[in-house]
Amino acid sequence: IAQIAGQQASRYDLTVEDCLTYFTVQLHFRMNAPERAGLELFREHADRLGLLSSVPCIGLA
């Protein structure tokens, strides 16, 4: 992970330390209540902007 952070940091105008923190602390693959709420809010905004041809059921119960 440290090697990837070192390679990618400048690409995103981040320090290596910030990139490493993102990969090891902030990036996660959980879909709990806060993440589901954020996804639902995104869906609502996309629907309001007419970006969805239908309103998908994302089935994250």
How much is the pLDDT for 54? 77
The answer on pLDDT for 41 being more than 80 is yes
The predicted model gives 52-56 an average pLDDT of: 75
Using alpha carbons only, give the angle 38, 44, 49 rounded to the nearest 5 degrees: 130
How much is the pLDDT for 29? 84
The answer on pLDDT for 61 being more than 90 is no
**Residue 19: how many other CB atoms lie within 10 Å:** 21
Indicate if the alpha-carbon torsion angle 33, 39, 43, 46 is positive or negative. positive
Contact 2, 20 (CB under 8 A): yes
- Is-above-0.85 flag for pTM? no
